[in-house]
Chains A and B, each alone.
Chain A
């Protein structure tokens, strides 16, 4: 059937619909560029959403756990081979995504007889300062969007994702602590979970730092810590 072009387009379209359907149960993940470093945040089961990739690189993702794992392993392998053969400074998100991960995702998505990656993700690279931080939103089909500094959200529903991103950019101020930033992200997380319009969402004076029955996964790519490895898990309670 795929030798006919319109059938191929139909198959791709069906595939997109299937992936979006699969992602509907997923909850959003967040990346925030702050003076202290890059905060990565998700709500899961512990080591299921937020991961260390390399010295200055982290990942927050939602989707099928097996696909998150495949993508994570591919990124870790590519980053370590590059860091070993050249140097850790040569491991950059632009090269990692542009040459290793995105082509793999695109190929997997378009090979309609093989299983696609059911993953939406945000990738972060720590820079010398906030303006040099790199946040990349990578979609299941390999499409990706760069942002320097700021706020990035990943979710299966693109409308809710952009609403949450806009709301967070309004709410999060430079003077907020990492704990306050995480609390505000959790307010957005809850609003998406409750399907509540963001126009009606207000930030409480002291946002909670937990979600009942779930584990808060938070990590910081720490700008101020010494040493090569900048990723550390945060306990925000």
Chain B
């Protein structure tokens, strides 16, 4: 009756394996990031999934739309991350339909935090660690500005003023974005969609130089990143053809 889809699900927490507790391994296998541009928030990710030093797939979608106005970028263990995204998708739609109003943005942000906390035992045992990025816009406020949040694997949420990154290749990307925020011209927050799209692809190519677990972006072969724009009017996926044109035009 209260629109809480999670309350309908059976309680099946991850079993405790009884293994000695160890610090979780460093995040692997992904680079996802988000930054503000002039028209909203750009959120992007590579396509590579790895298992150790094996490239598992170069066609993985890591930017998952949760509803028409918010999405999450996943980093960490795919099984858990995909399930979290699926749970949130159903949960948000369930709330909207049953309560006849959309869930507020703070509630959506908190919902992801709760799922991460519910995953605590898998996180501290190291086999179910997820550190996602969330981007969305409040639908009930006509002048709302899209927001970026990033999470630690235990569920703490942090609002990103300018940008956020997660995954093994995100270090170099965050360094470049930090540099551009201070000395860039234009700064990422001032960029058009075309400029921001090209920046996102260039950032991923740069990250792939230093991180074997980041890959699948090769403009010369028309292989581009998954890039989406979150704005007041909703989510727009930048199609490959569009990215090809932007890349050719070379907007800086």
Which positions in A face B, CB cutoff 8 Å? 47, 51-54, 72-73, 76-77, 80-81, 83-84, 227, 229
Expressed in whole angstroms, the Cα–Cα distance for A54 and B97 within the complex equals 8
- Closest 4 interchain pairs by CB? A84-B90, A80-B94, A76-B98, A52-B97
Contact of B54 with A by CB under 8 A: no
A80 CB contact (under 8 Å) in B1, B68, B93, B100: B93
Rounded to whole Å, the gap between the CB of A187 and the closest CB of chain B is 29
Residue ID in chain A nearest B94 by CB atoms? A80
**Is the contact region of chain B dominated by helix, strand, or loop, or is it mixed?**
helix
| Alpha-carbon distance between A83 and B86 when the two chains are bound, in angstroms | 10
- Whether A73 lies near B98 (C-beta < 8 A) is yes
B79 at the A interface (CB under 8 A) = no
Encoded as 1 (CB less than 8 Å from any A CB) or 0, chain B from 1 to 16 comes to 1000100110000000
CB distance B97 to A53 under 8 Å? yes
Given A77-B8, A84-B90, A229-B68, 4 more pairs with CB closer than 8 A: A47-B100, A76-B98, A80-B94, A84-B9
What's the Cα separation between A108 and B5 when bound, in Å?
Answer: 25
Q: Is the CB of B8 within 8 A of A229?
A: no
Please, how many angstroms separate the alpha-carbon atoms of A16 and B8 in the complex? 33
Evaluate contact between A83 and B90: CB separation under 8 angstroms: yes
Beta-carbon contacts under 8 Å, B45-99 to A: 68, 86-87, 90, 93-94, 97-98
Given A73-B1, A81-B8, verify A229-B98 contact (CB < 8 Å): no
Q: List 14 A-B contacts (CB under 8 A).
A: A47-B100, A51-B100, A52-B97, A53-B97, A76-B94, A76-B97, A77-B8, A80-B5, A80-B93, A81-B8, A83-B90, A84-B86, A84-B90, A227-B68
**How far apart sit A174 and B52, CA to CA, in the bound complex (Å)?**
60
* Candidates A51, A72, A73, A229; contact of B93 at CB < 8 Å: A229
Which residues of the partner chain A approach B97 to less than 8 Å between Cβ atoms?
A: 51-54, 76, 80
Task: Give A69's nearest chain B residue, CB to CB.
Answer: B1
Q: From B9, B98, B100, name the one whose CB has the most chain A CB atoms within 10 angstroms.
A: B98
